[in-house]
């Protein structure tokens, strides 16, 4: 009985043809990029993801709550929260009141010194034993000396006695103004705000500039003579 199945020797192996891959054409830019060698340190930069605003706000709130929980709560004896007291600068009063109830204040300006005494009265104003109209001959000086009394409405309610020495008319006027303001502050501390706002309690610390050698005055030079 014959069989049609071929023997293994008679079977010829099938030859498979390999197809060469088709080369893709590169553009000039891609060829230039492939030709340039990459630096060893160059690595692709990956954009970091920015945290969202909601996540940041949640973390900040959580941190704030943790910090607040760590702080001890200030409480009084009955358990109520303590109130924060405002810091107020202490009131500085330069003057005094003697045993007779007379308010005394000292004012200075340049080289002038004025010692002022104020007591309840009817508006008498004496400077070095003279009425202030006779002592201060300039109208501007008379207005400046009375300005603090008029501002506080004490011009016709108190008597003012002043002894001033040193300096000239401008220095003595400034010293009297400061001395009157300080005496009024000692007599009635409630007038401090009005006097301070008006600038009567601030001393003018300007002094005459000293003379320099080689000059006639502080800065004035000697006259030059050509012949």
Residue 48 pLDDT greater than 70, yes or no: no
Handedness of CA 131, 136, 138, 142 (dihedral sign): negative
pLDDT in tens, 21-38: 555 666 766 776 766 655
Confidence band of 9 (pLDDT split at 50, 70, 90): low
Confidence band of 1 (pLDDT split at 50, 70, 90): very low
* Maximum average pLDDT range among 16-20, 159-163, 189-193: 159-163
Torsion angle of the four alpha carbons 163, 168, 171, 172, in this order, in degrees rounded to the nearest 10: 20
Q: Residue 159 in contact with residue 122, Cβ under 8 Å?
A: yes
For the beta carbon of residue 151, count every other beta carbon within 10 angstroms: 17
Q: Residue 59 in contact with residue 53, Cβ under 8 Å?
A: no
Q: Packing angle between helix 169-187 and helix 139-151, nearest 10 degrees?
A: 10
Confidence band of 92 (pLDDT split at 50, 70, 90): confident
Strands of 158-165's sheet in order across: 96-97, 103-109, 112-120, 158-165, 125-127, 130-131
Q: What is the CATH number of domain 96-198?
A: 3.30.230.10
pLDDT in tens, 106-140: 999 999 999 999 999 999 999 999 999 999 999 99
Confidence band of 63 (pLDDT split at 50, 70, 90): low
């Amino acid at each position: 009985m014959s069989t049609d199945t071929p023997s293994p020797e008679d079977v010829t192996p099938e030859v498979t043809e390999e197809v060469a891959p088709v080369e893709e054409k590169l553009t000039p830019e891609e060829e230039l990029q492939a030709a340039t060698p990459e630096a060893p340190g160059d690595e692709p930069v990956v954009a970091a993801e920015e945290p969202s605003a909601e996540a940041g706000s949640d973390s900040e709130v959580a941190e704030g709550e943790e910090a607040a929980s760590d702080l001890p709560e200030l409480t009084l004896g009955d358990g109520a929260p303590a109130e924060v007291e405002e810091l107020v600068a202490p009131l500085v009063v330069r003057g005094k009141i003697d045993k007779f109830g007379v308010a005394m204040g000292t004012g200075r300006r340049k080289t002038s010194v004025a010692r002022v005494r104020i007591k309840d009265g009817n508006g008498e104003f004496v400077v070095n034993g003279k009425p202030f109209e006779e002592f201060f001959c300039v109208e501007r000086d008379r207005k400046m000396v009375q300005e603090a009394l008029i501002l506080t409405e004490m011009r016709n309610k108190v008597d003012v006695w002043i002894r001033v020495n040193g300096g000239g008319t401008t220095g003595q006027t400034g010293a009297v103004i400061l001395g009157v303001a300080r005496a009024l502050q000692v007599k009635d501390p409630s007038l401090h705000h009005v006097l301070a706002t008006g600038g009567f309690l601030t001393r003018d610390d300007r002094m005459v500039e000293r003379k320099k050698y080689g000059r006639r005055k502080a800065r004035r030079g000697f006259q030059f003579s050509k012949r």
